[in-house]
Structure 1
Amino acid sequence: MSTIIKDRPISTDRKLRKVLLATGVGHFVEWFDFGLYGTLAAIIGLQFFHAGDPGVALLSSFAVFGAGFIMRPLGGLYFGSLGDRVGRQKVLATVILLTSGATFVMGLLPTYHQIGIGAAILLVITRLIQGFAAGGESSGATTYLAEYAPVARRGYFTCWIDNFGFMAFVAGSGLVFLLTAFLGDSAMNDWGWRIPFLIAGPLGWIGLYLRQHLEDSPEYRAVAESGKTESAPLRAAVTKAWGALLFCVGFVVLKAVGHWTLQTFMPSYLATELHFSRLNAYAITTIGLFAIAIMVPFMGYLSDRFGRKPLMLAGCAGFILFSYPAMMVMAQGDVLSAVLAMLMLGAFIAAFDGACSAAMAELFPTSVRYGGLSIAYNFAVAFFGGITPWFSVWLITTTGDKFSPAWYIMGAALITFLTVLRAKETAGQPLKR
């Protein structure tokens, strides 16, 4: 049975759990695949690039990581438009197949020592395919869950997207940690790094199976049945919802920089710049990401009770005030201190993420929600998030200040803080049609 609240169908709790599981597990698979590259960036740099200096190899590796983000806007344009024209479910099934396939192939690639520069070229191609597919994932999953969730619980349900994403990074980082502990650095450098990528194959099929058994969201079906879908949703999003696009970009600046700093840059930063052992670096990152995953649903619940803006502003303020001190604490060389610093930064990103997914979806009408969110989200992530690991290493190399990446995080947080201040509160309101 279902009831109508404010002219909007609300599915039963059982159906909601099924939708949440299928969407979340698929999202987990996507970001397990996508995040492995960042976690293993230092090893990948040594395997695929000819560089005597590990720092130069790491820069090259992060440059390829950023190349994948170049394709995200293109993927967002393609899959976002498709999702608004043919439905969310079909597109979400397609993107998981592409991403997991590209990740699996990455585990089979020959190295520089085997075929020379051709190895780096093949690595770039697989990253471009992976990035293109990822362009349709986060915006699509957020849109789908927002359109299923009850009005009063939308923040809680949509924030599980971030929870599953962080859990994917925990699983990837944890797996790398266990493999490194079991195999040792030598075996991990030689062949052990391939194992996590190869696992992407079977995981992808699981996610595909779950998503193929979903139906489209009630919001999208209502718009489709009324004949109000847009034939050119991307053009409609730019012309009719340009204000929403700008606000969404502003929201995503901190989300992109914060996520990719903690998830991707931090393991290499701890090992390369702060001289923790690789094993300890993976352990610190894994603990921090796990704590974030636990905190995010609670923050989503709070955003439903107290509004999106208070949570998002608190997260921004935390990064502005404490990013630099947190990096200084990490540099003490003590594992416990580094974990505590990661937990502090993690609390800020959890507060922000708990409200942000719902806030982004609530900006757009249903007819252009997937496409509009895809445009704003992926362009912001590509420009700000994709360069985060590379730019952070460049800052350290150029300035000689190992804490200089904090200034980039603080700048991103300030941009988002000012954007959120000007945004309207949307918690508790029906989605736009």
Structure 2
Amino acid sequence: MGLALATSEPPRDWDVEDITVTEPNVIRRAIGAAAIGNVTEWYDFGVYAYFAPTIEKVFFSGMGHTTGIIATMGLFAVSFLVRPIGGMFFGPLADRIGRNKVLATTMILMALGTFCIGIIPSSNSIGIVAPLLLLAARLVQGFSTGGEYGNAMTFIAEYAPDRRRGFFGSWLEFGTFTGYLMGAIAVTIADATLSQSALLSWGWRIPFFVALPLGIVGVYLRTKLADTPAYLELEKQAEQQEQHADTKGEFKRIFRLWPYMLVCMALVAAWNVPNYMLTSYMPTYLTSALPHLQKNGAGTSAHTSEILQIIVMAILLVLIPVLGWLSDKVGRKPIVWVGSIGFILLAFPSILLIRSHGTFAIFGGLLIMGVLLICFSSTMPSTLPSLFPTSVRSGGLSIAFNVSISALAGTTSVVMTTLVNLTHDLNWPAYYLIAFGIVGAVGIFFTQEPNRRHMWGSAPAAQSREEAEEIVEELAAA
């Protein structure tokens, strides 16, 4: 296997006519269509994470504080249990019927699941049925999300030209942070303008209703685009050879690539544990764990926590495409190495700053965590799709991505809430971040540098004929 998993193919002579050329305006439309799904998905996560104390009171009012907050975080985590099922269903389906059709379907399901949360009566009105309905809505969200992100990464990676895949792929995560920022702003406005009684009775519902128009816009944008050039070429070859897709056969082909799936899972975990730590657990850590357990004035009010997170997210939003652009210049691996080693060395300083009394120190701790996180966020959308060939790319990526999310990353909030409350050790977030920094280092060690390489099983891609001619010359000289 060597020091890195090779994704090389038999050498061949490339001609300019073999190169896939996609106009920049089409690429931009494809990025917008893919990113809107992430906006919707993370808008919901942002709203849920910031409204966790409110959701606890609406759906778990009869429980004590610790039990209620664990139950609330548990419902956040439970949707991740069905994400592998969604990935196993929608990923191979996208390899058979096309990326675009599946992305439109997952967009509808995700928006409906989020909207339905907003119409569920409280537990005071319908008792135990309320949290059960919330559970059902979260499961719908988890199932649809299982088919959303892996396919969205595949969609953008297959549209992007080889020389700018890092930059274009980073806009998928720009959508992620945009959605989370929108959710944080919506909750902050609701908290600042509504009384506690109004918030508990109807105010908390309004941000969830916004998901439906977002979903409609996303479906419209996605249905206006043709499928990716790589998939259309794959479909053409299958028709010429009179091959018919076979689900069972695809699963066999996917699991023969188990070393690549393990590397993918390691990178996904190293990326998403810090992601959920920052975006989903830190609001609870600041407003609940620190005030209850540290007893020395640490932590912040919900309003201050929301403002700090909004500022951090806004900074990261600007930096993500910058790092994506940089990855096209220096490679993906150096940036991921910075993130992995950074978490190993700086996790404790970050958490110690967050545990301190000062608002600026807390902001500094959150910002350190966020900057290290986007070393992954800016590079993974262009790195992970390169691990799989076109014929099983969506299926392999969706399955590996969602198994890792479900087993490791998505449970971060509930695991941290439980461990911190049981042990009263407020350094658990640092231990966790260090462990997954090591996982990330192992994963990137076994990854071949994908920068400026064409996708496995696909023709080289350019954004102009002139660039295509340059690529042919480079490949001939290699």
Same structural fold, with TM-score higher than 0.5 when normalized by the shorter chain: yes
Gaps of 5+ in 1: none
Partner of 1:267: 283
Partner of 2:357: 333
Partner Cα separation in structure 1 for residue 160 and residue 169 of structure 2: 8
The CA deviation at 1:134 is 0.4
Flag the 1:114–1:415 CA change in 2: closer, same or farther, 3 A: same
The CA deviation at 1:305 is 1.0
- The amino acid across from 2:182 in the alignment is A
Q: Residues 174 and 321 of structure 2 are in contact (CA less than 8 Å); yes or no, is this contact kept in structure 1?
A: yes
Q: What are the residue-to-residue correspondences of 1:180-329 with 2, within 5 Å?
A: 180-227=191-238, 230-232=245-247, 234-274=250-290, 275-329=299-353
- The amino acid across from 2:323 in the alignment is M
* 1:33 matched to 2:44: yes
* 1:159 matched to 2:159: no
Count residues with an aligned counterpart.
Answer: 430
TM-score, structure 2 normalization: 0.87
Partner Cα separation in structure 1 for residue 276 and residue 172 of structure 2: 16
Partner of 2:101: 90
The CA deviation at 1:6 is 8.7
The CA deviation at 1:262 is 0.9
* 1:125 matched to 2:149: no
Q: Matched residue of 1:187: which SS? A: helix
Partner Cα separation in structure 1 for residue 383 and residue 257 of structure 2: 15
The CA deviation at 1:186 is 4.1
The CA deviation at 1:374 is 0.3
Residues 86-126 of structure 1, C-alpha deviation per residue, up to 9 Å, x if partnerless? 00000000001001101111000011111111111111011
Residues 199-248 of structure 1, C-alpha deviation per residue, up to 9 Å, x if partnerless? 11111111111111111000000111011774236414434322211110
Q: Residues 223 and 229 of structure 1 are in contact (CA less than 8 Å); yes or no, is this contact kept in structure 2?
A: no
- The amino acid across from 1:9 in the alignment is T
- The amino acid across from 2:70 in the alignment is L
Q: Residues 45 and 183 of structure 2 are in contact (CA less than 8 Å); yes or no, is this contact kept in structure 1?
A: no
Partner Cα separation in structure 2 for residue 214 and residue 38 of structure 1: 33
Q: Residues 281 and 413 of structure 2 are in contact (CA less than 8 Å); yes or no, is this contact kept in structure 1?
A: yes
* 1:10 matched to 2:21: yes
Partner of 1:145: 156
Gaps of 5+ in 2: 1-14, 291-298, 458-478
Partner of 1:65: 76
Partner of 1:407: 431
Q: Residues 47 and 111 of structure 1 are in contact (CA less than 8 Å); yes or no, is this contact kept in structure 2?
A: yes
- The amino acid across from 1:243 in the alignment is P
Flag the 1:7–1:338 CA change in 2: closer, same or farther, 3 A: farther
The CA deviation at 1:344 is 1.3
Choose from 402, 414, 425 the match for 1:378.
402
The CA deviation at 1:128 is 0.4
- The amino acid across from 2:311 in the alignment is I
Partner Cα separation in structure 2 for residue 320 and residue 128 of structure 1: 34
Q: Residues 46 and 181 of structure 2 are in contact (CA less than 8 Å); yes or no, is this contact kept in structure 1?
A: no
Residues 144-181 of structure 1, C-alpha deviation per residue, up to 9 Å, x if partnerless? 00000000111111111111101100110111111111
Partner Cα separation in structure 1 for residue 103 and residue 63 of structure 2: 42
Partner of 1:134: 145
Higher relative contact order (CA 8 A, sep 6+): 2
RMSD: 1.6
Q: What are the residue-to-residue correspondences of 1:337-352 with 2, within 5 Å?
A: 337-352=361-376
Partner Cα separation in structure 1 for residue 253 and residue 149 of structure 2: 18
Partner Cα separation in structure 2 for residue 129 and residue 16 of structure 1: 30
The CA deviation at 1:10 is 2.5
- The amino acid across from 2:305 in the alignment is A
Moved more, 414-423 or 91-100: 414-423
Flag the 1:152–1:5 CA change in 2: closer, same or farther, 3 A: farther
Q: Matched residue of 1:21: which SS? A: helix
Partner of 1:46: 57
Q: Residues 37 and 148 of structure 2 are in contact (CA less than 8 Å); yes or no, is this contact kept in structure 1?
A: no
Moved more, 222-231 or 405-414: 222-231
Q: Matched residue of 1:137: which SS? A: helix
Partner Cα separation in structure 2 for residue 52 and residue 92 of structure 1: 39
- The amino acid across from 2:377 in the alignment is D
Residues 52-72 of structure 1, C-alpha deviation per residue, up to 9 Å, x if partnerless? 432221100111111100010
Residues 257-292 of structure 1, C-alpha deviation per residue, up to 9 Å, x if partnerless? 011111111111111123311111111111112222
Partner Cα separation in structure 2 for residue 312 and residue 18 of structure 1: 28
Flag the 1:295–1:404 CA change in 2: closer, same or farther, 3 A: same
Partner Cα separation in structure 2 for residue 185 and residue 323 of structure 1: 35
The alignment-based identity, stated in percent, is: 33
Moved more, 90-99 or 285-294: 285-294
Partner Cα separation in structure 1 for residue 61 and residue 41 of structure 2: 30
The CA deviation at 1:51 is 4.0
Flag the 1:284–1:50 CA change in 2: closer, same or farther, 3 A: same
